[in-house]
Amino acid sequence: MSLAPTSPIPDRDAASESSDAQGILLEARGVTKRFEGLVANRDIDFDIPRHAIVSIIGPNGAGKTTFFNQLSGVFQPTSGSIVFEGVSLVGLAPHDVAELGIARTYQNIRLFQNMSVLANVMVGRHVRMAAQWYDAIIGHPKVQREEELARQRARELLDIVGVRRRYEQDLAKNLPYGDQRRLELARALASDPKLLLLDEPTAGMNPGETRQMTDLIARLRRELQLTILLIEHDMKVVMGISERITVLDYGEQIAEGTPAEIRANPRVIEAYLGKQATT
Amino acid sequence: MAGSGSIWRRALTVGLVAGVAVLYLATVGLVLAFAERSFVTGVTSFGRVILAIPPLAAGFVIGSRAGSVNARLAAGLLAGAISGALLAVSLLFASAVDIRGVLIRVSAPLISFVAWDQDAVTGAGINLALAVGLGLVGAALRIAPRSVRMPVLAAIIGVVVMSLLERFLRPRLTELDFTDVARFLYQGGGLTVPAALITFVLVAAIAVAWSPVRSRVQRAAAGTDAGQRSTIRAVLIVLLIGALLYLPEVVGTFFSQVLVSVGLYVLLGLGLNIVVGYAGLLDLGYVAFFAVGSYLTALLTSPLSSLGLGLPFWVALPIVIVGAAVTGLLIGAPVLRLRGDYLAIVTLGFGEIARLLFLSDALKPWLGGTQGILAIPDMFGVPRIELPILGVISGPELTYYPLVLFCILAIFIAHRLKYSRTGRAWNAMREDEDVAEATGISTVNYKLLAFAMGAGIGCLGGAVFATHLESVFPGTFNIIVSITVLSIVILGGMGSIPGVVLGSLALIGLPELLREFAEFKLLVYGGVLMVMMILRPEGLLPDRARQLELHEADEEETGDDDSLAPSAPRAAEPTPEGLT
Amino acid sequence: MRRPGRLSLVDIILWGLRIAIVVGVALGSWATLSAGRLTGAAWSDLIVGGIALGSVYALIALGYTLVYGVLLMINFAHGDVFMFGALTGFFVADGLAEAGFLDANPIIGMLIVLAIAALSSMIVAVVLERVAYRPLRRAPRLVPLITAIGASLFIANSVRGLYGEQVKAYPTLEIFAGKINIFGLEILKTRAIVIVAAVALMLALYWFVERTRTGRAMRAISEDKDTAALMGINVDRTISTTFAIGGLLAGAAGVLYAIVFTQVHWVMGFVPGIKAFTAAVLGGVGNIIGAMLGGLSLGVLESVGPFLLLSGFGVPSPNQLRDVIAFSVLVLVLIFRPYGILGRPESR
C-alpha cells in the first residue's frame, strides 16, 4: 500500500527543489534560552539535513523539550537564530510555524480528548484547509468538497499509522494507549509537514509496540519524504534509526555526530550512556 | 456479600443527608410556598411532594448498593427512618422553642403543615412512619427490574407534569370551550383523583410499550440510506416549523408571552453556547452584549432617545448587529490572552461596568440613567397585521414570529458552524489551547470570532427585547441574566443546540407554570449549576460527540475495562495492515 | 508568543487602551487637584476610610489566594462565605445585645461575635469544599469554576430563604462611637478597630503559613500536589484546612465589615467578593503578602479614585462610579498584569 497522499500537497516539490542545493532543512545557530537565571539551552548549533532522521538525546532536564518548544514557536529563544527553509522562525507564533510545515507530537500524549478520532486528525489538517466561517454558513460547495477531501486524507493517515477504522467515531480519550500515540502522529501528519518533531514517541510502549513505532517512523520518512527530529530516551530506538545525533547535558550541547561517533564519545558515555549502561 | 457490612453505614449517611435536605427544604421556605399548591386535589399538595422526595430518593440510592434484596430493603427502610426521625425531632423542637427570630420561615403555619395539622407528637409520629415507608418504597423501586422501574418512574413524572400543567391547561381548555374536560381533569387547582389515576396508567402503558417500538424504529432507521434519512429529517423539520407557527394559536395570549421569553433566552443561549460550548470561553458578562443590543436599538429607534432618530426597527437592526460585533471585538481583544478562569472574571467585570455605566448619572444625558429609554416603536410599527394563512397577528405574536425566525436562523448558523473547519478549530481550542495553537489554529483569531458571533446573537436578542418591551431600563441588565443564560447552556449540555432549547423551556418556561417558585428561581439555578457539574457535566441533551462518550462508558461497564491501561490488550493483536 | 515586528489588531487595541488610561488618569487628577475641590482633611478621611475597607478586602482576598494556591481554582462562592459570617455575627450580636451582655462587656461580647461568625463561615467553607469541589478535583478547569458560581448563588439564596431578605442592622455600641486621635489624625474609632483587628489576623495567618507544619503542607501542595502526596502529606485534609482558614478569615471580615457599615443582608457577598478577588489578583494570586497589599491598595483606590479621577472632569455624582473604578482595576490588572503587581510573568 502506498503512503502517498491522494490529495496534492501544495508547494512540496517547488520548495524542496529550491533549497535542496544545500540540503539543510532547518538551521539553528547559537540558540540560547534562559528562564529567570536558569539556562535551559546554551549556544546550541544544530542542522537538520533534508530527509534525515536526527535525534536529540540527553538525561532528564537536559533541555531537550525546551529546544523543541523553540522550534515549534512555543518559546522564543533568548538569543540565536532558527531558520527553516530560508524563513526565520524567531518571533513566529506556533500556528505560523505549523503553517510553514513543522508539526509535532508530545511526550505526554496531548489529544483533543473529547473529540472523535477522525475529528482529531481533521483538526490537524486545519492549516491546509481554506474554508472560513462565512463559507460554512452559506454552505459554499467548495466547503463540502474540502471537507470530503480532508476526511479522506484523515482516513488514509489513520490507516497509515494503524488506528483501525472502527475507532474513527470514538472519542480520542477512549482509545487504547498505543493507539493514542498513533493518533497523535496521524494528527501531526495531517498538516502535510516537511519537518516532524517527535517527543519521545515510544514512551510507555512495550517492546513490540516500540518496534512497530520505529518501523513506522522509518517508513514515514521514506514514503512521505519527511524530515524527522526525534527526542528519545530509548537508546536502541535512537541508535537504530537516526543518521545524526545531538547530545545535550545541562542545557549544553556536548556532542554531535553519527550514532557510531556518539557511541564512542567519552563525554557522552560519562554524561549519559554511562549511567544508562549501569541500569 | 462483601459490601453488606458497609451498606448500613451508607444507609446512615444517606438517611442523614436526606433528613438534612428535608429540613433545608422546609426552613428555606419551599415547603410552605407549595403547601397551597394542590397536586392531586383532596389527596396531597406539592408541599408534601417536596417533603417526600428526599426519603424516597434516599431509599432509591441505597437500593442500588450491592447486597441481598432483604438487606437492601432493610437499608432503605433504615435510611428513610433516619431521615424521618430527624424531621420528627426537629418538629418537636420547633414546636417547643420559637426559633423564628433566626429562621424566619419556621412559623406556626409551617409547623402545623408539617405536623399534618395534628399536635406535635402525633405529627412527628406520622412523619416518621411516612419516611420509613418512603425509604422502603424507594429501595423497592430501585431493586425492581428495569421493565417495572422505568414505567413507574415515568408515570410518576407524568402525573407531576400533568398537575403542573393545570396553570396552563385549565384556563385554556375553558377558553376553547372544553369546559367539561377541564373540570374532569382539574379541580381546586390540582389534578382530580380519576385524572391522576388515568394519567398514571396511561403514561406507564406508553412507557411499557415504548421500548419495543423504539427498537423497531431503530431497526427501520438502520435500514434507510442517507437520502431517505435526509428526506425524513426535512419532513420533520417542516412539521416542527409548522407546529411552531401554530403554537401561539394553541396556547393563547398569556402563554404566547411566555413563549416570547423562552424564545429570547433560546436566542441568548445559542449565542453563549458558541462562546462557552464551542470555544470553551466562559463568558460571565454575556448580559453586556444583551444590554448593548437593547440600548443601541433604543437609541436608534426611539424618537425620545438622545439621538432622536426614530429609525424603523428593521433599518436599525443591521446597524445594531454590526455595532454589537464590534463591541464583541473590542471587549474580546484585550482579554483573549487570559487563561480560562481569569477570562470569566474579566467578562464578569465588563458586565458589571456596563450595568453601572448605564445606571449612572454621568451618562444620563445619553442613556437616560435609571429612567432608561422609553417609546421604542414596535417591530412593525403597527399593532396588528393580517397574513394569509396565520390570520390576524397582534400582541406578543408580533414579536413571536420574527423571534422564531431569528431562532431558526441562529440554530442554522450554529449548526453549520459546528460541523465545519471553524467549529472543529473551536472545539480543539476548548480541549487544549496550546495544542490547538501548535496544530496551526490561530487561537486569538478564533477566540475573537467566537466572541463576535456570541455578541452578534446576544445583541439580536437585546434588540428584540427592547422593541418587545418598548422601553429599556438599566435594572434589567444584571449579572442574573448572564447566570440564567449560562444555566440554560449548562443544563442542556455545553455545545448542544437542542440542549439550549430544552434548557430555556425548563428554566424560563417551567417557572411560569410554577409561580410559587419565582422566589426560589435563583436558588434553583445555583443548584442546577452545581448538580449538573458534579453529576452530569455533559448536560441533559449532550451533543453528538459527548453522547458517544457516554455510549462508550456504557460499553465499558459490560466489557473490557482495562482497555485504557497502557498498551496491554492490543499488543498481542495482529499489527495493522500495511505495517507488516 | 507575540511577534515583535508585526503589530496585530489586538496589540493596537491594547496600546490604545493603555494610552487612554494614562491620559485619563493624568488629566483627571490634575484637574481635580488644581481645582482644589477637597480639603486636606477630607483627603485623609477618604484615605483612612479606604484603608479600613481595604483591610476587610484583604482578609477576604486571603481566602481566595490560599484556595487558589492549593487548588488553582477561583472559589467564586467565597464572597458568600463572607456574607454568611456577617449574618451569623448579626444573630449573635443581636442575641447578646438583647440579653444586655453586649453593653455590659462590649469587648468580650464583640470577640464572641467575631469568633462565632468566623467559625460559622469556616463550617460553610469546609462543607462547600467537601460537597461541591472535592468530587471535581481532576475535572477540567472550568468545571469547578462553574460549580463555584452555582454554589455562590445557592448559598446567597439559601440565606435569603432561611434568614429573610430584609436588611439587618448590627446593634450599635457606645465605645465604638466617636473618633480617636492618632498622630494628629482624627480617625473614626470603628475604622481604627477594623484596621487593627484585620492586621492582627493577617499577622496570625502569616505566622501560621510560614511556621506551622500544616502551613508548610499547604505550601508544599501549592508547589506540586502529586509530589506532596508522595511525600506523605494528606492532601485532602490540607485542602480542607485551607478552606477552613479562608472561611475563618472571611467570617471575621464579615463582622469587621458590619462594624463599619452596620448593615448586613443576603446579597452583600457578591460585590465585596469580586473586589477581594481583584485585590488577590492585584497582589498576585497565591501570594499572601500580595493579597494584603492588594486589598489595601484597592480600598484606597476605590475610596479616593472617584473624587480624584472623575470630579475633575465635572462628572456628576462620582461616588456612584466607585464600583466602576474597582471593576476597571480588576479588568485592567487582569489584562495587563495577570500575575499581579508583585508577581513576575510566568516563566513560559
Task: Give me A274's grid cell.
Answer: 554511562
Dihedral pair phi/psi, residue B278, rounded to 5°: -80, -55
Query: Helix and strand tally (H, E) in chain A?
Result: 12, 10
Which pairs count as long-range contacts for B249-253, CB under 8 Å and 24+ apart, including other chains? B249/B390, B251/B168, B251/B172, B252/B171, B252/B172, B252/B175, B253/B395, B253/B396
Residue type, C263: Q
CA-closest candidate to residue A95, choices C340, C214, C20, B441: B441
Of C1, C3, C347, nearest to A35 by CB-CB distance is C347
> What is the average pLDDT across A47-53?
90
Q: A54 in helix, strand or coil?
A: strand
Task: Give me A159's grid cell.
Answer: 490507516
How close does chain A come to C6, measured CA to CA in Å?
A: 9
- Quick one: what percent of chain A has pLDDT higher than 70? 89
What is the predicted pLDDT for the residue at A22? 54
What is the tens place of the pLDDT at every residue in A245-269? 998 888 888 888 888 888 888 887 7
What is the tens place of the pLDDT at every residue in B147-185? 888 899 999 999 998 998 888 888 888 888 888 888 889
Q: Report DSSP state, residue C231.
A: T
Beta carbons of C3 and A91 less than 8 Å apart: yes
What is the tens place of the pLDDT at every residue in B489-520? 999 999 999 999 999 999 998 888 887 788 88
How close does chain B come to A266, measured CA to CA in Å?
A: 36
Contacts of B301 (CB under 8 A, 6+ apart): B309, B310, B311, B312, B313, B316, B376, B377, B466, B467
CA-closest candidate to residue B68, choices B136, B15, B4: B4
Contacts of C98 (CB under 8 A, 6+ apart): none
What is the predicted pLDDT for the residue at C7? 54
Between positions 388 and 427 of B, the ones with CB within 8 A of A are 412-413, 416-417, 420-425, 427
> What is the average pLDDT across B235-263?
88
Please, which chains are in contact with A (at least 3 CB pairs closer than 8 A)?
A: B, C
* C5 part of contact set with chain A, CB < 8 Å: yes
What is the predicted pLDDT for the residue at A112? 92
Contacts of B111 (CB under 8 A, 6+ apart): B91, B94, B95, B120
What is the predicted pLDDT for the residue at C2? 41
Q: What residue has cell string 518533531?
A: A197
CA-closest candidate to residue C27, choices C283, C314, C320: C314
For the cut 60, the answer to whether the pLDDT of residue B435 exceeds it is: yes
Beta carbons of B360 and C321 less than 8 Å apart: yes
What is the tens place of the pLDDT at every residue in C260-319? 888 898 988 888 888 898 888 888 877 788 888 899 999 988 888 877 777 767 676 677
Query: Taking each helix axis from N to C terminus, what angle separates C235-261 and C189-211, rounded to the nearest 10 degrees?
Result: 170
- Quick one: what percent of chain B has pLDDT higher than 90? 41
For the cut 70, the answer to whether the pLDDT of residue B568 exceeds it is: no
> What is the average pLDDT across B40-61?
91
What is the predicted pLDDT for the residue at C221? 83
> What is the average pLDDT across B238-245?
89
Rounded Cα distance, B187 and B179, in Å: 12
Q: What angle do CA C75, C79, C81 make, to 5 degrees?
A: 90
This prediction has a pTM of 0.87
C-alpha torsion B442→B444→B445→B446, nearest 10: 80
**How would you classify residue B175: left for phi > 0, otherwise alpha for psi between -120 and 50, otherwise beta?**
alpha
Which chain C residues are closer than 8 Å to B534 by Cβ? 132, 135-136, 147
Position with higher pLDDT, A119 vs B98: A119
> What is the average pLDDT across B34-58?
90
What is the tens place of the pLDDT at every residue in A197-207? 999 888 888 88
* Helix, strand, coil fractions of chain C, as percent rounded to 5: 75, 5, 20
> What is the average pLDDT across B267-283?
93
Looking only at the bridges linking them, the beta strands covering A227-231 and A244-249 are unpaired
Count Cβ–Cβ pairs < 8 Å, chain A vs chain C.
15
CA-closest candidate to residue B485, choices B278, B322, B161, B261: B261
How close does chain B come to A95, measured CA to CA in Å?
A: 4
* A91 part of contact set with chain C, CB < 8 Å: yes
What is the predicted pLDDT for the residue at C345? 54
* A75 part of contact set with chain C, CB < 8 Å: yes
Chosen from A111, A114, A179 to mutate, greatest number of chain B CBs within 10 A:
A114
Give the burial class of A99: count Cβ atoms within 10 A of its Cβ; 0-12 exposed, 13-18 middle, 19 or more buried.
Answer: middle
Between positions 282 and 311 of C, the ones with CB within 8 A of B are 310
> What is the average pLDDT across A31-40?
83
Any bridge partners for residue C267, and if so which?
Answer: none
For the cut 70, the answer to whether the pLDDT of residue B123 exceeds it is: yes
How close does chain B come to C344, measured CA to CA in Å?
A: 15
Residues of chain C with pLDDT under 50: 1-5, 346-348
Please, which chains are in contact with C (at least 3 CB pairs closer than 8 A)?
A: A, B
What is the tens place of the pLDDT at every residue in A129-156? 988 898 988 888 899 899 999 999 999 9
For the cut 70, the answer to whether the pLDDT of residue B479 exceeds it is: yes
Q: How confident is the model at residue B562 (pLDDT cuts 50, 70, 90)?
A: very low
Which residue is closest to A179 within chain B, CA to CA? B567
Which chain B residues are closer than 8 Å to C317 by Cβ? 360-362
Task: Give me A179's grid cell.
Answer: 493507539
* C145 part of contact set with chain B, CB < 8 Å: yes
What is the predicted pLDDT for the residue at C10? 73
Beta carbons of C3 and A36 less than 8 Å apart: no
Chosen from C87, C131, C137, C153 to mutate, greatest number of chain B CBs within 10 A:
C153
What is the predicted pLDDT for the residue at B63? 87
* B550 part of contact set with chain A, CB < 8 Å: no
CA-closest candidate to residue A65, choices A82, A41, A83: A41
What is the predicted pLDDT for the residue at B526? 93
Which chain C residues are closer than 8 Å to B364 by Cβ? 316
> What is the average pLDDT across B328-342?
80
Q: How confident is the model at residue B572 (pLDDT cuts 50, 70, 90)?
A: very low
For the beta carbon of residue B422, count every other beta carbon within 10 angstroms: 26
Task: Give me C24's grid cell.
Answer: 485619563
What is the predicted pLDDT for the residue at C37? 65
What is the predicted pLDDT for the residue at B67? 81
Q: How confident is the model at residue B466 (pLDDT cuts 50, 70, 90)?
A: very high
Contacts of B421 (CB under 8 A, 6+ apart): A126, A129, A131, A136, A143, A146, A147
Element spanning A199, H or E? strand A195-199
Of C154, C315, C316, nearest to B526 by CB-CB distance is C154
Residue-wise DSSP of B345-362? HHHHHHHHHHHHHHH-ST
Rounded Cα distance, B100 and B109, in Å: 12
Q: Report DSSP state, residue C343.
A: S
Interface pTM, i.e. ipTM: 0.87
What is the tens place of the pLDDT at every residue in B175-227? 888 888 888 899 888 899 999 999 999 999 998 888 788 888 878 877 777 77
Which chain C residues are closer than 8 Å to A74 by Cβ? 1
What is the predicted pLDDT for the residue at C128? 94
What is the predicted pLDDT for the residue at A96? 92
